[in-house]
Amino acid sequence: MKRLKFGIVGLGRLGRIHGENIAWHVPGSELIAACSIVPEELDYAKETLGVKDTYSSYVDMIKNPELDGVVIVSPSGFHLEQIQLALLAGKHVFCEKPIGLDVDEIKRTITTIEQHFDQVFFLGFMRRYDASYQYAKELVEAGEIGDLTVVRCYGIDPSSGMESFVKFAKRSNSGGIFADMSIHDIDLLRWFTKTEVKRVWALGKNAAYPELDEAGELETGAAMLEMQDKTIAFLVAGRNAVHGYHVEMELIGTKGTISLAHHPEKNLVTICNEHGVVRPTSQNFSERFKQAFIDEMRAFVACINKGKQPEVSANDGLQATIVAEACRKSWQTGELINL
Amino acid sequence: MKRLKFGIVGLGRLGRIHGENIAWHVPGSELIAACSIVPEELDYAKETLGVKDTYSSYVDMIKNPELDGVVIVSPSGFHLEQIQLALLAGKHVFCEKPIGLDVDEIKRTITTIEQHFDQVFFLGFMRRYDASYQYAKELVEAGEIGDLTVVRCYGIDPSSGMESFVKFAKRSNSGGIFADMSIHDIDLLRWFTKTEVKRVWALGKNAAYPELDEAGELETGAAMLEMQDKTIAFLVAGRNAVHGYHVEMELIGTKGTISLAHHPEKNLVTICNEHGVVRPTSQNFSERFKQAFIDEMRAFVACINKGKQPEVSANDGLQATIVAEACRKSWQTGELINL
Amino acid sequence: MKRLKFGIVGLGRLGRIHGENIAWHVPGSELIAACSIVPEELDYAKETLGVKDTYSSYVDMIKNPELDGVVIVSPSGFHLEQIQLALLAGKHVFCEKPIGLDVDEIKRTITTIEQHFDQVFFLGFMRRYDASYQYAKELVEAGEIGDLTVVRCYGIDPSSGMESFVKFAKRSNSGGIFADMSIHDIDLLRWFTKTEVKRVWALGKNAAYPELDEAGELETGAAMLEMQDKTIAFLVAGRNAVHGYHVEMELIGTKGTISLAHHPEKNLVTICNEHGVVRPTSQNFSERFKQAFIDEMRAFVACINKGKQPEVSANDGLQATIVAEACRKSWQTGELINL
Amino acid sequence: MKRLKFGIVGLGRLGRIHGENIAWHVPGSELIAACSIVPEELDYAKETLGVKDTYSSYVDMIKNPELDGVVIVSPSGFHLEQIQLALLAGKHVFCEKPIGLDVDEIKRTITTIEQHFDQVFFLGFMRRYDASYQYAKELVEAGEIGDLTVVRCYGIDPSSGMESFVKFAKRSNSGGIFADMSIHDIDLLRWFTKTEVKRVWALGKNAAYPELDEAGELETGAAMLEMQDKTIAFLVAGRNAVHGYHVEMELIGTKGTISLAHHPEKNLVTICNEHGVVRPTSQNFSERFKQAFIDEMRAFVACINKGKQPEVSANDGLQATIVAEACRKSWQTGELINL
């Protein structure tokens, strides 16, 4: 089995996760190139990941004829252009979510992706590769809970990040809590219901950090959505979970209910002490989705080896962006938004 | 300690629960009178509950000078008139929810209630007396979870009742799922947030019994509500919980989260068998709220003995009805409703 | 329905629970007499429980011809004599566990009980009346978990009582942890397995309070027992549960496993906070078994009304005492004890 | 970073797990050789694992000068000899548990291991590398639950394997349930308490398959052990868990209790259906300890790279075997065994 050779662009927190996974945890893959404008990131790539070639220019990296594919973990604003360039250079592409920030530009990129149908384009909605979501999906597909009636998804970041977020929000635009946080949940919603969003109403409240009101940002956002088939969806996106990293899903069907991580249990340990019966919790996304990040990268490599596209498509990225944008608009205007 | 003497009107399923509680489980109370137009119910009152005097006329019953108070468990449409008559006859009143069906009539009755301020008027929102809700309320009041951001309440009846409901719905009007089922959840929402509903959007889906569409009834209804202080609320009302009687609440605050009966555990037993790790569930409201029904009746008697009104007021009944009505209207029109 | 009239002897912590239950929570019963050598306890009986007649002499109380039965909640050393006297006086008897301290004397009392077969003798193993144990028993009887292989019972008191216990143990003899704490678990073991103990080996460790070694007392005791049918049993008796009142049971059968209160959840509330996912715990026996104490007293009254003996017999009290004694002896000698 | 080169002996169910891990999931390692007397296993090694050199003779394989180390997953009876030969050939050694079957031979092998102190000897007690056990160990070392008083360990195989075990047991000797199943639990017991077993009493019951009595084998075995410091331990070893693969541990300390996998939850999914609230369970050891098997192999490679011995030693293997043997002897003789 020949080893596929990859280059990575972006080696921040998430970039390093992907970098280590390709380098060490995906059989049949090698990380041979890395691109960053941060010299320390390139040092890390060489010293820790054993990367041969480093680049400060993405255009230079993708000229490397050895490369079979690229892994894009750069800031979201660069995704679309880097996807296009890599495809034109004949490389397979793994792109971290979101596919892009602007709906029209995403549509143009999708045209390019479709033209390069024999190159794999893989969008990093890693939750689809988490064992618990996979298990839930199988149950739903097998009809175990009948027809879906209500879907509820929460994605709440640990409050340990609040203070730095508040500082950041005063000077910069996060893109909004729905695009930033709910995008994974919107993808899950579409994946499980197999239908599209019809209408949405969104709300928000800044209770711990009311100063976010001025910045036009949210500590907690929420939305109720009606799907084309009348399925009802609830979303909560937050940044202030005191107990850790809280990502849960609930599916209410006509024959049963599935609850996934209602309490974000870290492991199989329970402690009884003066606080009561205590289960420790996941503390961050890299802990919670450690294996899912590995498994999605393995799936990317498997797609290349089998010459087929993944189940998750560029259009999934487009639709999730459209819905997140509708949530933002509904919250800002206070109106119901029809899609 | 003198025993207070009560008469009850209505001895259906819930009436019998209240009847047995006053007769047997509330120290300092006696059930001496019962009124019903169903002869079997009066036989039951005499034989099983040991009631001395039975009546087919409510007006006759409240003339009984021995009676200290009445317990109204008749069909909802009779509540307001029976409250008025009992107050005018000088009796203390316990009235099962809802206080009434028409907002203007409720307001007129509240005037009467206020005039009879030295008679106790007690509205049967029994969940407030459940040990778990009481415990949650104490935590919130103590500031344990900070300021509330999101409140989520589900009330879903067991699917064992679905078929008879569908038959019923084809000929009669249930009052709508929000008035019928969500009224308790709306009361909890107001009790916990201490603020009023500002806007609401409601949805509904009939997935298992699409024939309910024609009847204008719902198998599952849902609403998102914005409170005056921007707190976000989600409601689900349903009639089709395969696993039993599902009533849960979640409170997300700035310092923590409270989850109440996310899984409606019946008792402290867990079974491991070929299905996995199984916890049996509550099967109906009388099982789940058995002690709460006793404790609210004890609270009613305590109010009489202490000469004070309960924390839950007729206005709470009015407001819950107004919100339930707004949910219905939003669902029927598809519009956001401002309150 | 005539009300049965009862007298109670002993109004300490547990006596007050039983006193309030007969007075207020058991339909068809009245508490008319109380006996104690502590004047404050008699004041309490008159003022709070509404008892008519109080006595400092037990012999005087049982002469009261109005009394249908007595409830014995005196110190354990008095149980056997008070049972005998009450039976001879023609009264029905409820006796708190243990039936007595000395095996031979218990046997003699059983003879008296058998002679008075038309008077109810009820031994207060209240756990048998707890809803969760009842539910587990029904599952086992229905064959849901097949044949029993392993039974494990823990009874651990909250550590809040440790310091006063250590002081007490330095001057007095508690009767030993197995007689004091495990007696309920031994009864459950016999109730569920329907067979007798054949051999036992017991151990003990004083880790938090090593000074108990000198007093010949135990902070934690444990035993493994072999039943006549080879079923294996584990017992743990402790006094130092930091998280509250810990009473659990596990039944491993050939077709499944039942776990009862592995974590002693207080109610249906879960809190997510900086400690993790937290479930509050039961804090003491009166909280955990509140309803079981009521239900056993109702069962006592029902036995009198129906003229039949309860399922739990004086012999159950005898056997539990014999096994507890064997545990003590095994721990003290370090040897296996055959029964 | 140079890749270490390994050969494996034995490619049965567990051998394949180790083979795949070294080949694919351990950065810095390569599987270049495999030895088996089963031709299909060698075909698998070549075709699936990409192994270059295959051998039917272990002696031949270890002559391969390219090999840095060997992984021994052969039948238990071969372990000791293969350890010795590999050490003499200058190879690092990973050996699956148990280290051997005979205490005296294990002692002799330990002498050889000690002489080859610059070669890594790693014994496959993989549970020590499981994230939940690691987390529990850290809590205990940090003093979170104070001094240990009671340790309880269960290891129960799924009942799906019972029928084939019964057939096997009629013709062959399994080595006994304590050596076969409890060896991991005994290792955990010693790892957590840091002390040795002093006395043991063991019992057994064949309830579902009484025909095992004749074969001298056990469906369920149990033991109570006293440690040198008086800590009390309970072990259950079983082959008949209807709900799946049940491996749990409980640690009762003076300041709290740790419960690990009391219910062997498969993932983060909960289903509410007609059975109640259901959590799916782990079905076999390869699912439950998938990551632990990877992590122990990574630890083995890390030891080689750092030139240090692992925390788990050959003596740990010896002691676990001694205790398992004492359990067997106690069960067979019915006596207490002193160690």
Q: What are the tens digits of pLDDT across the range A82-96?
A: 999 999 999 999 999
Nearest Cα of chain C lies from the Cα of D300 at a distance, in angstroms, of 33
Would you state the pLDDT for residue C173?
A: 83
Asked if residue D272 has pLDDT above 90, the reply is yes
Would you state the pLDDT for residue C175?
A: 85
In percent, the amount of chain C with pLDDT more than 70 equals 100
Cross-chain residue pair D234–C234, CB shorter than 8 Å: yes
Cross-chain residue pair D257–A272, CB shorter than 8 Å: yes
Q: What angle do CA B304, B310, B315 make, to 5 degrees?
A: 130
- Confirm or reject contact between C262 and chain B (CB < 8 A): yes
Would you state the pLDDT for residue C1?
A: 57
Cross-chain residue pair D246–B272, CB shorter than 8 Å: yes
Do residues B106 and B321 lie in contact, with contact meaning Cβ atoms separated by under 8 Å? yes
Q: Chains touching chain A at 3 or more Cβ pairs under 8 angstroms?
A: B, C, D
Q: What are the tens digits of pLDDT across the range D108-130?
A: 999 999 999 999 999 999 999 99
- Confirm or reject contact between B208 and chain A (CB < 8 A): yes
* Identity of the residue in D222, D226, D232 whose CB atom sits nearest the CB atom of C232: D222
Q: What are the tens digits of pLDDT across the range C189-229?
A: 999 999 999 999 999 999 999 999 999 999 999 999 999 99
Nearest Cα of chain A lies from the Cα of D318 at a distance, in angstroms, of 28
Asked if residue A1 has pLDDT above 60, the reply is no
Q: What are the tens digits of pLDDT across the range A310-320?
A: 999 999 999 99
* Identity of the residue in A246, A266, A276 whose CB atom sits nearest the CB atom of C278: A276
Q: What are the tens digits of pLDDT across the range B93-127?
A: 999 999 998 999 999 999 999 999 999 999 999 99
Asked if residue B171 has pLDDT above 60, the reply is yes
Q: In angstroms, how far is CA B313 from the centroid of its own chain?
A: 13
CB within 8 Å of C311: residues ≥ 6 apart: C128
In percent, the amount of chain B with pLDDT more than 90 equals 97
Q: How far is CA D287 from CA A26, A131, B297, D290, in A?
A: 19, 12, 53, 5
- Tens digit of each residue's pLDDT, chain C (339 residues): 579 999 999 999 999 999 999 999 999 999 999 999 999 999 999 999 999 999 999 999 999 999 999 999 999 999 999 999 999 999 999 999 999 989 999 999 999 999 999 999 999 999 999 999 999 999 999 999 999 999 999 999 999 999 999 999 988 888 899 999 999 999 999 999 999 999 999 999 999 999 999 999 999 999 999 999 999 999 999 999 999 999 999 999 999 999 999 999 999 999 999 999 999 999 999 999 999 999 999 999 999 999 999 999 999 999 999 999 999 999 999 999 999
What would the mean pLDDT of B240-260 be, rounded to a whole number? 98
Would you state the pLDDT for residue C2?
A: 77
Cα of first residue to Cα of last residue in chain A, in angstroms, is 47
- Confirm or reject contact between C54 and chain A (CB < 8 A): no
What would the mean pLDDT of A145-161 be, rounded to a whole number? 97
Nearest Cα of chain C lies from the Cα of B236 at a distance, in angstroms, of 19
**Residue C245 φ/ψ, nearest 5 degrees:** -100, 110
pLDDT confidence tier of residue D50, bands split at 50, 70 and 90: very high
Q: How far is CA A61 from CA A89, D145, D190, in A?
A: 10, 54, 54
Do residues B192 and B140 lie in contact, with contact meaning Cβ atoms separated by under 8 Å? yes
Question: From CA C304, how far away is CA C51, in angstroms rounded?
Answer: 21
* Identity of the residue in D1, D269, D272 whose CB atom sits nearest the CB atom of A135: D269
CA-nearest of B328, B321, B316 to B237 is: B328
Nearest Cα of chain A lies from the Cα of D11 at a distance, in angstroms, of 20
* Identity of the residue in A50, A257, A272 whose CB atom sits nearest the CB atom of D272: A257
Question: From CA B291, how far away is CA D234, in angstroms rounded?
Answer: 39
pLDDT confidence tier of residue B1, bands split at 50, 70 and 90: low
Nearest Cα of chain B lies from the Cα of D97 at a distance, in angstroms, of 29
Would you state the pLDDT for residue A335?
A: 98
Would you state the pLDDT for residue D174?
A: 81
B268 neighbourhood in chain C, CB within 8 Å: 132, 260-261, 264-265
Cross-chain residue pair B149–A205, CB shorter than 8 Å: yes
**DSSP states of D313-327 as a string?**
-HHHHHHHHHHHHHH
Residues 139-158 of B with CB under 8 A from A: 146-150, 152
Cross-chain residue pair C262–B271, CB shorter than 8 Å: no
Asked if residue D37 has pLDDT above 80, the reply is yes
A277 neighbourhood in chain B, CB within 8 Å: none
Asked if residue B313 has pLDDT above 90, the reply is yes
Cross-chain residue pair D135–A266, CB shorter than 8 Å: yes
Question: From CA C60, how far away is CA A289, in angstroms rounded?
Answer: 74
* Identity of the residue in D203, D240, D335 whose CB atom sits nearest the CB atom of C254: D240
Q: What angle do CA C123, C126, C128 make, to 5 degrees?
A: 100
The question of ipTM being above 0.90 is answered as yes
What would the mean pLDDT of B311-327 be, rounded to a whole number? 97
In B, minimum Cα distance to A235 occurs at: B234
Q: What are the tens digits of pLDDT across the range A51-109?
A: 999 999 999 999 999 999 999 999 999 999 999 999 999 999 999 999 998 999 999 99
In C, minimum Cα distance to B291 occurs at: C291
* Identity of the residue in A132, A269, A291 whose CB atom sits nearest the CB atom of D269: A132
**Residue B174 φ/ψ, nearest 5 degrees:** -75, -10
CA-nearest of A196, A184, A192, A190 to A145 is: A192
Q: How does the average pLDDT of chain D come out, rounded?
A: 96
Q: Chains touching chain D at 3 or more Cβ pairs under 8 angstroms?
A: A, B, C
- Confirm or reject contact between C269 and chain A (CB < 8 A): no
Question: From CA B128, how far away is CA B121, in angstroms rounded?
Answer: 16
Residues 227-256 of D with CB under 8 A from C: 230-232, 234, 236, 238, 240-243, 246, 252-256
pLDDT confidence tier of residue D1, bands split at 50, 70 and 90: low
Cross-chain residue pair D267–A135, CB shorter than 8 Å: yes
Question: From CA A193, how far away is CA A147, in angstroms rounded?
Answer: 9
In C, minimum Cα distance to B276 occurs at: C256
A243 neighbourhood in chain C, CB within 8 Å: 272-277
What would the mean pLDDT of A168-193 be, rounded to a whole number? 93
pLDDT confidence tier of residue A2, bands split at 50, 70 and 90: confident
What would the mean pLDDT of B198-211 be, rounded to a whole number? 97
Would you state the pLDDT for residue C165?
A: 95
Question: From CA C316, how far away is CA A242, in angstroms rounded?
Answer: 51
Would you state the pLDDT for residue A174?
A: 81
- Confirm or reject contact between C37 and chain D (CB < 8 A): no
pLDDT confidence tier of residue B183, bands split at 50, 70 and 90: very high
pLDDT confidence tier of residue D58, bands split at 50, 70 and 90: very high
Size of interface B-D (CB pairs under 8 A): 58
Cα of first residue to Cα of last residue in chain D, in angstroms, is 47
- Confirm or reject contact between A265 and chain D (CB < 8 A): yes
Asked if residue D173 has pLDDT above 90, the reply is no
Would you state the pLDDT for residue B186?
A: 98
Nearest Cα of chain D lies from the Cα of A104 at a distance, in angstroms, of 38
| H helix runs in B4-102, sequence order | 13-20, 39-47, 58-63, 79-88
* Identity of the residue in A27, A262, A270 whose CB atom sits nearest the CB atom of D24: A27
Cross-chain residue pair D281–B272, CB shorter than 8 Å: yes
